[in-house]
Amino acid sequence: MKNASASYGVDPRFSAATQIDTGALVRLRELACHISLRQPRKVYSALSGQHVSAIRGRGLEYAEVRHYQPGDDIRAMDWRVTARTGQPHIKVFQEELERPLLLVCDLRASMHFGSRRTFKQVLAADLCALLAWAGANSGDRVGALIFNDDQQFDLRPSNGPRHVLQIINRLAAMPTSAASEPVQRMTAICQQLRRVSRPGTAIWFISDWSGFGDEQQALLFDLCRHCEITAIQVHDRLESELPPPGRYDITDGQQRLRLDTASSQQRLHWQQLANERQQQLQQQLTRLKVPLLRIATDDDPLTILRQGGKA
């Protein structure tokens, strides 16, 4: 499994294993310079950073000219417009402020699965760490909401590499949990996300999106008005298409079963159900105006992030 990444055309610094490894997540810092999370966003912070705010004030980038009002700083006076119009006008600038970045990482039992290269939960942890390093490189305050079926870690946004290391340690420390009811758990996480997210936050939600439906869509509706959410769906190709006809042994590490895919009707039905679930998720996220990136366990994550991300 250690050399599986190279055989799939994936950078070997991405994990190819069944367990989350702290060292591998730290090494992803070397790849963070290849992606950019920068784009103009509304933020509500007084700290300096590399993202343009909708707040008007003294800054580096010119925004507009407006009539002078009592109390305005006369150092910002636009003398050319004032002379041309005969009325005092002042220049208004856009402040460049720091943007909070919140990474939501799903490590539920449904993520403890993989048929090619790595497990879904390992890929999700890789993506979370990579985005955290990229955010730190951009000067963002990076936080994380990491959850499994029965517990969660909530790390509030903060600066610097040390905080990214805290996120990585939390990812590796999350124990494997017994499967819970996916709809209820997703509901609880969406509610928690509403509680901890501040206006102007850029949210990257990394999950297989099991249990996401109309109720969860409604929970995220108001959040999408004040925050920018990007959805990453981690999946394995076996979930949408059964392998060629044959008998395959599958295991959860404790029990072993045999999967018989001889029936073409069964394979077609499996694929149809998967397509229906995917279309439903896409429609729900489209209503929220949330972009969706799909990354399979045997995909090159860096390529997909660079092509479909918000560089």
User: Are 63 and 123 members of one domain?
Assistant: no
Q: Is 203 found in the same domain as 73? A: no
Residues 16 and 106 in one domain: yes
pLDDT confidence bin for 38, thresholds 50/70/90: low
What is the Cα–Cα distance from 54 to 63, expressed in whole angstroms?
A: 10
Nearest CA among 132, 63, 59, 61 for reference residue 100: 132
Residue 214: name the closest of 183, 235, 239, 189 by CA.
Answer: 183
- Examine the pLDDT at 26 and tell me if it is beyond 50: yes
Q: Which residues pair with 146 in a beta bridge?
A: 105, 153
Q: How many domains does the chain have?
A: 2
pTM equals 0.79
Higher pLDDT: 69 or 265? It is: 265
Most confident segment among 72-76, 143-147, 172-176, 199-203: 143-147
3-state secondary structure of 196: helix
Range of the domain at 77: 48-97
157 & 303 share domain: yes
Reduce the DSSP state of residue 48 to 3 states and report it. strand
Mean pLDDT check: name the lowest of 32-36, 182-186, 268-272, 289-293. 32-36
Q: Which amino acid is at 160?
A: G
Same-domain check for residues 93 and 103:
no
Residues 6+ apart with CB under 8 A from 97: 43, 45, 46, 47, 48, 49, 51, 52, 53, 55
User: Which string of DSSP letters, residue by residue, matches 63-84?
Assistant: EEEEE--TT--GGGB-HHHHHH
CATH number at residue 237: 3.40.50.410
139 with 24, same domain?
yes
* Confidence band of 251 (pLDDT split at 50, 70, 90): confident
